[in-house]
Structure 1
């Protein structure tokens, strides 16, 4: 059987795409290796009617919705290789070596993130330290917060976090990443900048209490944010010849089309919009519409 579309990635983008294509009666398989980037997240926010839903609950509800459409399958496996066969058909190989053929494919596998190099940060990430103020700022509002950053997004993120808490300390972990001009802007707002290397984070049960520096000094904080570095989780997009921007995200049009005919991208892996659950879901819908529209036009040629 040749699929109409293969979807790589079972997050909100891939799930939304599967739903839309299922409602169009397209033969689809969604490949999900069940390793979402938001696995550490306890609750997801900002998605209307689903504010506060857990990632697992969201996926379960999505699977229930998709199960109503018999032309869509969800397979828990990893795609390790994609080749273009004769004409415009793609051959996808799973980690078990099983091949699948598809006319179109949507890359929706998200991105891989790297946290700042701070001892113990994983113990607090997703519990009292987060990467997105739109997702978790409300829960930390008006608390004494820390922003830990080792990259050039520190200045922008500090200004954003300030909306939720005016008691903010920016820690760069020994890196000089904030210019003198930027420093003056932040200081005028009462934002403290500490460039000293961080020895460790201190607290219990995922609840941050202190940031301890290598010189022995420490500051009391009850939570905070980090800036992360994001990259493609594998080289599938690159191997297909997809054009990416300087941050490694696949460049697409409004309907998720990449520069490679038959290849679409949606969610964090693409360049359209910030990393948000609701935005990724919307992008999956757009990519599915792109796939269905293109398949339909090809049928009328």
Structure 2
């Protein structure tokens, strides 16, 4: 096992938040290990949007360039490895185990482990996810505006999402995939704005490649559709926070303070796993801020005298 003196920081997750933090730390000459399993949440998305200077670029290309730039710093080590376990050692440092490269330790641990989307087991859904089945109008709504659009969602929060989506399209149908669980006020909102409501369960998603063509319903009907927004359940993308005892909130997100420290001192979270702002620009910004703050704390701790 590498000793805790080998690295100042271990970052688990080498996507946008993790690499942004790694760069900020590297430029402060901190010793950083980045462990990445190569399964980013947006791996099925062909284009990144709402990202200044890179609007429309492929996320895979952006990530590859980011890795290349971070790897150029000699104090950073990037390892393609899945972190399988984490715990705290008696000296206070954190040990992370991997299947591929053994174990490593560092005084501070940054979790950029993301979230995992739970896709419904409906034929065709996974194939279209991230391409013509999308989750965020700010990320993808501009490109599909004014097209016949579906919303796969149920519950009272349908009202909020419908109110948002009407900004991008007036041809909108809500698919509840079973009996609607919202009240009369939501139904009235849909009727008022001409939003369709389909409660028949969805049997399959008809598609050509990753492009949605329509929804096949359980009663045999096929409704043509090119765009579908879907709010699917999610959970933490890694078991490491739970292993370390990090608390989550009612949304399943890691609880963090103003400096993105979790409820476990010395463990920090950044990216999708601790915020509802699931955009690349936010991940990059948070990573840079956390990396800058932690490097400054480390530098000052080494150079300034400690008061008695």
TM range (shorter): over 0.9
What 5-or-longer segments of structure 2 have no aligned partner? none
Determine which of 45, 60, 67 is the counterpart of 2:64.
60
Q: 2: distance between equivalents of 1:231 and 1:238?
A: 12
SS in structure 1 at match of 2:151: strand
- CA displacement at 1:226 relative to structure 2: 0.6
How many positions carry a matched residue from both structures? 300
Q: State the partner residue of 1:157.
A: 161
- CA displacement at 1:152 relative to structure 2: 5.2
1:107-145 superposed Cα distances (whole Å, 9 cap, x missing partner)? 001010012343321222222111111111011110001
- CA displacement at 1:96 relative to structure 2: 3.2
Determine which of 287, 295, 298 is the counterpart of 2:301.
298
Residues 22-41 of structure 1: pairs in structure 2 closer than 5 A: 22-41=26-45
- CA displacement at 1:87 relative to structure 2: 2.5
Residues 54-203 of structure 1: pairs in structure 2 closer than 5 A: 54-96=58-100, 98-150=102-154, 153-203=157-207
Q: State the partner residue of 2:284.
A: 281
- CA displacement at 1:99 relative to structure 2: 1.4
Q: 1: distance between equivalents of 2:299 and 2:57?
A: 36
Q: 2: distance between equivalents of 1:267 and 1:175?
A: 35
Q: How has the CA–CA distance of structure 1 residues 253 and 143 changed in structure 2, closer, same or farther, with 3 Å as cutoff?
A: same
Q: 2: distance between equivalents of 1:159 and 1:151?
A: 14
1:195-244 superposed Cα distances (whole Å, 9 cap, x missing partner)? 11112222312222222211123322121211111101232112212121
Q: State the partner residue of 1:246.
A: 250
Q: State the partner residue of 1:222.
A: 226
TM-score by length of 2: 0.92
Q: How has the CA–CA distance of structure 1 residues 105 and 175 changed in structure 2, closer, same or farther, with 3 Å as cutoff?
A: farther
1:232 and 2:232 are equivalent in the alignment:
no
TM-score by length of 1: 0.94
Calculate the aligned-residue CA RMSD, in Å: 1.6
- CA displacement at 1:8 relative to structure 2: 0.3
Q: Tell whether the 8 Å contact from 2:48 to 2:59 is kept in structure 1 after alignment.
A: yes
Q: Tell whether the 8 Å contact from 2:148 to 2:225 is kept in structure 1 after alignment.
A: yes
